[in-house]
Structure 1
Amino acid sequence: MDKINLLIIVNIVSLFISLFLAFFLFTLKTKHKISNSLFAIFLILNAIDVSEPVFNMMVDGPSNLGMFRGTLIFLQIPVFYLYIISVCYADFKLRPKYLLHLLPFLIVNLVLSPRFYTVGVASKISFIQNRQNMIEFQFLHILIHLQIITYITAVFSVLRKSKTLYLENFAGKSVSSYNWLFQFTIVLTILYLVALLKNILKFSDYPHISEWLKIGLLVSSLFVFCWYLFKALNNPDIFRNIDSKLKLVSELVSEENSREQSTLAEQKHNEELVKLRKYMVEKKPFLNPSLTIQDVSNELEIPVRDLSLLINHQIGQHFYDFVNTYRIENAMDILKDDTKNKVTILEILYQVGFNSKSSFNTAFKKHTGITPTIYRKGL
Structure 2
Amino acid sequence: MIHELFKFIMIAGIITGFAFITYTNLSPKRKDKSIFYLNFFVLFFTLNNLQITLTDYNFIHLNFFERKLLIPFYALIIPAFYTFVTYYLKAENKVKSFVIISILLFALETIIRIVLGYNYYNQTNNIIVAQYAKYEEIINLSYTILLFLKVIYIFMQQSKYYQEVASYDNMKWLKKFLLYGFGIIFFWVFAVAFNFKEVLSPNIPVYYPLRFSSTLLVFWVAYYGFFKYNLLTERIKLRAEIVKSKINIVLKIKSDKDFLKIEKFILEAKKYLDPLLDAETVSKSTDICYRNITNIISNNTKMNFNDYVNSFRIEEAKIILVNPNYSNYTIEAISLECGFYSKATFYRAFAKHTQTNPTKYKAKNS
Whether 1:185 and 2:169 are equivalent positions in the alignment is no
Greater mean alpha carbon deviation, residues 217-226 or residues 71-80: 217-226
Conserved in 2, the CA contact under 8 Å of 1:74 and 1:144?
yes
| Cα separation, partners in 2 of 1:331 and 1:88, compared to 1, 3 Å | farther
Residue 282 of structure 2 corresponds to: 330
Q: State yes or no: 1:152 paired with 2:148.
A: yes
Distance 1:35 1:86 in 2: 5
Partners of 1:10 and 1:287 in 2: CA distance: 49
Corresponding residue for 2:191?
198
| One-letter amino acid matched to 1:117 | G
Q: 1:334 touches 1:348 (CA, 8 Å); kept in 2?
A: no
Q: Deviations over 1:354-379 (max 9, x none)?
A: 43279xxxxxxxxxxxxxxxxxxxxx
Q: Deviations over 1:44-72 (max 9, x none)?
A: 21122233132341123234587242x22
SS at match of 1:126: coil
How many equivalent residue pairs? 278
Q: How does 1:70-85 map to 2 (within 5 A)?
A: 71-85=72-86
Q: Report the alpha carbon displacement of residue 190 of structure 1 after superposing the two structures with TM.
A: 2.5
Give distance in 2, aligned partners of 1:326 and 1:66.
Answer: 62
Give the distance between the partners of 2:220 and 2:77, measured in 1 at CA. 19
Aligned identity (percent) is 10
Give the secondary structure class of the aligned counterpart of 2:304.
coil
The 2-side partners of 1:184 and 1:324 are apart by 26
SS at match of 1:29: coil
Unmatched runs of 5 consecutive residues or more in structure 2 = 237-263, 285-289, 314-337, 344-366
Q: 1:23 to 1:347 in 2, by over 3 A?
A: farther
Moved more, 188-197 or 229-238: 229-238
Distance 1:74 1:171, change over 3 A: closer
State the partner residue of 1:277: none
- 1:10 corresponds to 2:3: no
* CA offsets 1:267-309 (integer angstroms, 9 cap, x no match): xxxxxxxxxxxxx95972152638xxxxxxxxxxxxxxxxxxx
Structure 2 counterpart of 1:27: 26
Q: What residue in structure 1 maps to residue 69 of structure 2?
A: 67
Q: Is the 8 A contact 1:14 1:218 kept in 2?
A: no
Partner Cα distance (2:80, 2:42) in 1: 10
Q: TM-score, normalised by structure 1?
A: 0.58
User: Helix, strand or coil: the match of 1:119?
Assistant: helix
Q: What amino acid is the match of 1:182?
A: K
Deviations 1:221-265 (A, max 9, x none): 3332343344344433455599xxxxxxxxxxxxxxxxxxxxxxx
Residue in 1 aligned with 2:257?
Answer: none
Q: Is the 8 A contact 1:89 1:239 kept in 2?
A: no
TM-aligned CA distance change 1:159 to 1:238, over 3 Å: farther
Structure 2 residue 32 is matched with structure 1 residue 47: no
Q: How far apart are 1:89 and its partner, in Å?
A: 0.5
Structure 1 unaligned spans of 5+: 243-279, 291-322, 359-379
1:40 aligned partner, one-letter code: N
Q: Is the Cα contact below 8 Å between 2:265 and 2:271 reproduced in 1?
A: no
Are the counterparts in 2 of residues 331 and 349 from structure 1 also a CA contact under 8 Å? no
Cα distance in structure 2, aligned partners of 1:180 and 1:130: 43
